[in-house]
Amino acid sequence: MHLYQKHAPKSLSEFAGNSEVVEEVRKWALLIESGKRQKPLLLYGPSGVGKTALAYALASEMGWEILEFNASDTRNKDNVERIMGAATSSAGLFSHRKLILVDEVDGLEGAADRGGASAIASVIENATQPIILTANDAWDKKLYSLRSACKLIEMKHINKRTIRSVIARIAKEEGISMPEDVLDKIADSSGGDLRSAIIDLQAYLPGSMRDRDKLIFECVKSLFKAETYQDAMKSFDGTTVDYGLMKLWIESNIPIEYEKPEEIARAYNFLSRADVFDGRVLNRQAWKLQKYSYALILAGVALSKGHKYHKFSKYEFPQFLRLMSISSEKRALRKSIRRKVAAACHCSVRDADLYFPLIKLMAKEGKPLGFFGLDENELKMLGASANEESD
């Protein structure tokens, strides 16, 4: 289990940082409990300050059930009305209140999400259950309709002293003796991002030295057989495989290693959440966020299983790369044919395709094809046999 999940606050009193926000959220909940209707909250601020964790801590303290949606679940009007409609108007089990959490609403973008934000605004306007939405940037123009329907509360970066206190407490609870300078280093480099600091702390937990350069198959095996966060995070240590290729290998081999549908679903869910962070990295050039992707892809996938499989798994080369390789070879072969035909027929490379039917016809009629200088593979691609090439 990730340390930031294991040590997530169970109540508002355990929540670190943004104390004024915590009090404001508590008052909001108490007013709802007293029967006074309140606008949904839109918590916004940088990654890692605890927007989602605050919602869960509030639900735990108030004794509310919590139902979480992600922007990817509510991409358009139809999905919003179908998925969120009933949830926002019905109570939870035993008639308890139900907190509806809509996470990362600023993740809605593009044609596929058209109408998503305005549909959410329409649904929450008539909701009878408490609702909290989260976003990194509440002032994004696509959230215009949501801003007027919600009460905006900004959460800010957490100061280094608070972050250091939290990671020191976690290390102590885990029975780990961390050097003071290491705790200082983690807090200083966190940039006010508590989640990032906890991930960094977990990376410092005891583990074996880096392996020497490993084959990709060994890395994949190490990942899927890992039973701890530490082992999963170092499964690709010592290899030169790049990040994109690593993701493809893991994605392709999840159903080969895991047998239970729920394990496979959990693993792919972690991959999809990693993609969210990858998109933010590229769009915002916020490379610091990539550590979240690594944690989700490696530890998330490895710990999705209920138990370690002791079977032999024949891991496969990613099908996507195999298809791309074949496609690349075909393109290169066709380009070579065009160049040779263009040279023989004194035409442009772009017009060389016009002669392909003629070459096929010549081959069918047994005409010599040596004039074009095509090799056996090129003739096969054009549908001409090799024995028809000779003069």
Domain count, the chain: 4
Query: Is pLDDT at 65 greater than 80 in this prediction?
Result: yes
- Does residue 110 have a pLDDT over 60? no
User: Is 254 a residue whose pLDDT tops 90?
Assistant: yes
- At residue 102, does pLDDT exceed 50? yes
Closest CA to 292 of 270, 265, 308: 270
**Which residue is it, tokens 């058209």?**
114
Q: Which two tokens stand for residue 378?
A: 């090129």
Q: Is the pLDDT of residue 105 over 90?
A: no
Q: Mean pLDDT of all residues in the chain?
A: 79
Residue 213 has pLDDT above 80, yes or no: no
User: Above 50 in pLDDT, residue 62?
Assistant: yes
Query: Do 115 and 131 lie in a common domain?
Result: yes
Highest mean pLDDT among 52-61, 114-123, 188-197, 203-212: 52-61
- Domain closes at, from 113, 129, 154: 154
What's the token pair of residue 136? 């990194």
Residue with tokens 């030295």: 209
95 and 180 both lie in a single domain: no
List Cβ neighbours of 231 (8 Å cut-off, separation of 6 or more).
Answer: 207, 222, 302
Which of 15-19, 149-153, 285-289 bottoms out in mean pLDDT, i.e. has the lowest? 285-289
Position 77 confidence tier, pLDDT thresholds 50, 70, 90:
low
Query: Are 134 and 165 contained in the same domain?
Result: no
Q: Is 328 exposed, middle or buried (CB count within 10 Å of its CB: 0-12, 13-18, 19+)?
A: exposed
Strand ranges for 91-187 from DSSP E: 98-103, 131-135, 151-154
Nearest to 297 by CA among 243, 375, 334, 259: 243
Tokens of 250: 């893991």
Q: Say if residue 264 is in the same domain as residue 327.
A: no
**Residues 171 and 243 grouped into a single domain:** no
- In this structure, the answer to whether residues 7 and 148 fall within a common structural domain is yes
Q: Check residue 209 and give its pLDDT.
A: 31
Q: Is 41 left (phi over 0), alpha (psi -120 to 50) or beta?
A: beta
Model confidence, pTM: 0.55
| In a shared domain, residues 240 and 295 | yes
> Quick one: 171 and 136 in the same domain?
no
Question: Which residue(s) pair with 123 in the sheet?
Answer: none
Task: Give the CATH number for residue 94.
Answer: 3.40.50.300
pLDDT digits (tens, 9 = 90+) for 322-353: 555 555 566 777 888 888 888 888 888 888 88
Q: What is the pLDDT of residue 91?
A: 54
Could you tell me the two tokens for 217? 């198959």
Residues 270 and 363 in one domain: no
Tokens 């002293």 correspond to what residue?
161
What are the tokens at 132?
């909290």
25 plus 139 within the same structural domain: yes
Residue 25 DSSP SS3: helix
Mean pLDDT, rounded, for 134-154: 85
Q: Of 284, 300, 317, which residue is a domain's last?
A: 317
The string over 21-55, giving b where at least 16 C-beta atoms fall within 10 Å of a residue's C-beta and e elsewhere, is bbeebbebbeebeeeeeeebbbbbbbbbbbbbbbb
Q: Radius of gyration of the chain from Cα atoms? A: 28
The model's confidence at residue 112, banded by pLDDT at 50, 70 and 90, is very low
Q: Residue 273 has which token pair?
A: 């959440």
Distance (Å, whole) CA 184 – CA 365: 81
Instruction: Clarify whether residues 15 and 51 are in a common domain.
Output: yes
For residue 55, give the nearest of 143, 149, 64 by alpha carbon.
Answer: 64
305 and 327, same domain (yes or no): no
User: Is pLDDT larger for residue 136 or for residue 155?
Assistant: 155
pLDDT band at 203 (very low <50, low <70, confident <90, very high): low
Amino acid identity, position 297 = I
Domain boundary among 302, 317, 332: 317
Domain membership of residue 381 as a residue range: 322-388
